[in-house]
Amino acid sequence: MKDTTNATPVVLVTGGSRGIGRATCLAFAKAGYDVAVNYAGNEKAAEETAAACRALNPEGRFSIYRADVADADAVDALFKQIKTDYGRLDVLVNNAGITRDNLIALTKPEDFDAVIATDLRGVFLCMKAAGRMMMRQRHGRIINVSSVVGLRGNAGQVSYAAAKAGVIGMTKSLAKELGRRNVTVNAVAPGFIQTDMTDALDDKQKAAASQDIPLNRLGTPEDVAGVIAFLASDAAAYITGQVIPVDGGMAI
């Protein structure tokens, strides 16, 4: 998105080192944004994302930032550093997430807590920090990565579904809080996307999953990144509080 200045817009993508996060970083680099790539542990992958962004946009600024989004102090430090480095934040993409999938009878409370901490609390912490900056700027875009599982549930994913459904509730609530400050808040709900999480499935499982998808294929990270980039664009300036499934029709 753009404001009344001529400054290059800045986007922060959490979990930007791989999968949907990396594809999103590349989409914004291609669109002319400066990109702050957040990662939790894999510095090499984050550097590879930043390098790929530079190849697409040699004039842009692409920095990596290590921070656990579930840690309130780490999130505060992250946003302060982005403010120091870039002076602004136009778009936040909350993409960082983990899974600890299991049937509820076999799910350990600590595994449930870990998923909630990253996938729900992490989104809350980042939205709170970004919201402060964007309210002062009187413009901004927040885009949260939820999941089709947050809309329809899935056996063996109680913790993940709880977190992703919570993200949808927070998205709608914050959209009502920030709308008068020209800040939009939306979510995307990916279905089966070809990422590290789905790489654990064998070909038979992937084929079975595809049968439940009207478009008869798994999605790509680029499918999701394109929708995220659209929600950050001027074309989406009158869209807020919405959840857009990117699932090939799976949630129909």
Domain of 118, CATH number, reads 3.40.50.720
Is 3 within a domain? Answer: no
Which residues belong to the active site? Answer: 160
Is 2 within a domain? Answer: no
Is 78 within a domain? Answer: yes
Q: Please state the rounded mean pLDDT for residues 91-106.
A: 96
Count structural domains, the chain. Answer: 1
Percent share of the chain, pLDDT over 70: 94
Please state, in angstroms and rounded to a whole number, the distance separating the CA atoms of residues 119 and 100: 11
Is 252 within a domain? Answer: no
pLDDT at 194: 87
User: DSSP 3-state assignment of 196?
Assistant: helix
**Residues 6 or more apart from 155 whose CB is under 8 A from it?**
103
Residue range 131-178, pLDDT digits in tens: 999 999 999 999 999 999 999 998 999 999 999 999 999 999 999 999
Is 74 within a domain? Answer: yes
Which DSSP letter does residue 8 get?
A: P
Q: How many CB atoms lie within 10 A of CB 116?
A: 18
pLDDT at 81: 97
Q: Which residues make beta-bridge pairs with 63?
A: 36
Phi, psi of 155, rounded to the nearest 5 degrees: -60, 135
Is 226 within a domain? Answer: yes
Percent share of the chain, pLDDT over 90: 87
**If you average pLDDT over every residue of the chain, what do you get?**
94
Whether pLDDT at 106 is above 80: yes
Q: Domain span at residue 139? A: 10-246
Is 4 within a domain? Answer: no
In this prediction, residue 207 has a pLDDT band, given cuts at 50, 70 and 90, of confident
Phi, psi of 245, rounded to the nearest 5 degrees: -70, 135
pLDDT at 195: 82
pLDDT at 5: 54
Residue range 37-64, pLDDT digits in tens: 999 999 999 999 999 999 999 999 999 9
Is 197 within a domain? Answer: yes
Per residue in 46-71, is it b (16+ CB within 10 Å) or e — as a string? bebbbeebeebbeebbbbbbebbbbb
pLDDT at 201: 64
What secondary structure does DSSP assign to 199-239, as a single string?
Answer: HTS-HHHHHHHHHTSTT-S-B-HHHHHHHHHHHHSGGGTT-
pTM for this predicted structure: 0.93
Residue range 57-98, pLDDT digits in tens: 999 999 999 999 999 999 999 999 999 999 999 999 999 999
pLDDT at 202: 66
